């Protein structure tokens, strides 16, 4: 992700009122994660797996925070059970930012194609609404809109960052 795109994502999270972020370090969205960690307005938790991130976000929300989980596709697959059993079942709004690979035209290597066929169907099966931001100019509106909906619906909402947003 180019630094200017990382800044767009970072600023959108601030604008959306996010003040707690759980993340598993990931090279695709590292620059955004680094900006968040360095900003004292955010409470950040680096987790060992994404399921722990869901639990941390749920606890943060119960404690009055506005949480976001920032992960890659593979991490989303790890987090499906905690998302379904905790946040969907109990109405806990978490903004889930997913670095989404495998789209047609994606410059990532062959191993990412599996996410083309798994991420969106699993979001649909879990009944987690989502938006895609494949162009930098779409990222701000997608993130702020998703956070607003998550808060109003008391339900997780995801944003798939893909395409040009993730390109270096």
| Six token digits for residue 125 | 């099966």
Tell me whether residue 142 is in a domain. yes
Q: What is the CATH number of the domain that holds 84?
A: 3.40.50.970
Tell me whether residue 35 is in a domain. yes
Tell me whether residue 75 is in a domain. yes
pLDDT score recorded for residue 146: 98
Question: Do 159 and 95 contact (CB within 8 A), yes or no?
Answer: yes
Per-residue pLDDT of the chain (168 residues; tens, 9 = 90+): 688 899 999 999 999 999 999 999 888 888 999 999 999 999 999 999 999 999 999 999 999 999 999 999 888 999 999 999 999 889 999 999 999 976 656 666 656 667 777 899 999 999 999 999 999 999 999 999 999 999 999 999 999 999 888 876
Tell me whether residue 61 is in a domain. yes
Tell me whether residue 22 is in a domain. yes
Q: How many domains does the chain have?
A: 1
pLDDT score recorded for residue 98: 95
pLDDT score recorded for residue 134: 92
Domain assignment of residue 66, given as a range: 3-161
Kindly report, residue by residue over 9-33, the tens digit of the pLDDT: 999 999 999 999 999 988 888 899 9
- HEC string of 73-135 equals HHHHHHCHHHHHHHHHHHCCCCEEEEECCCCCCCCCCHHHHHHHHHHHHHHHHCCCCEEEECC
pTM of the model: 0.94
Tell me whether residue 42 is in a domain. yes
CA distance 24 to 52: 10
CA distance 84 to 76: 12
Tell me whether residue 13 is in a domain. yes
Tell me whether residue 166 is in a domain. no
């Amino acid at each position: 992700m180019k630094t200017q795109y990382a800044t767009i994502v970072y600023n959108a999270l601030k604008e959306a009122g996010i003040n707690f972020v759980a993340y598993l370090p990931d090279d695709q969205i590292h620059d955004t994660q680094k900006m968040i960690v360095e900003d004292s307005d955010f409470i950040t938790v680096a987790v060992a797996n994404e399921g722990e991130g869901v639990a941390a976000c749920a606890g943060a929300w119960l404690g009055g925070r506005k949480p976001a989980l920032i992960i890659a596709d593979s991490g989303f697959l790890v987090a499906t059970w905690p998302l379904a059993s905790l946040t969907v079942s109990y109405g806990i709004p978490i903004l889930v930012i997913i670095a989404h690979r495998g789209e047609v035209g994606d410059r990532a290597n062959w191993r990412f194609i599996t996410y083309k066929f798994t991420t969106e169907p699993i979001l649909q099966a879990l009944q987690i609404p989502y938006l895609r931001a494949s162009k930098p100019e779409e990222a701000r509106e997608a993130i702020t809109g998703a956070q607003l909906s998550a808060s109003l619906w008391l339900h997780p909402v995801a944003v798939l960052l893909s395409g040009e947003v993730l390109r270096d």
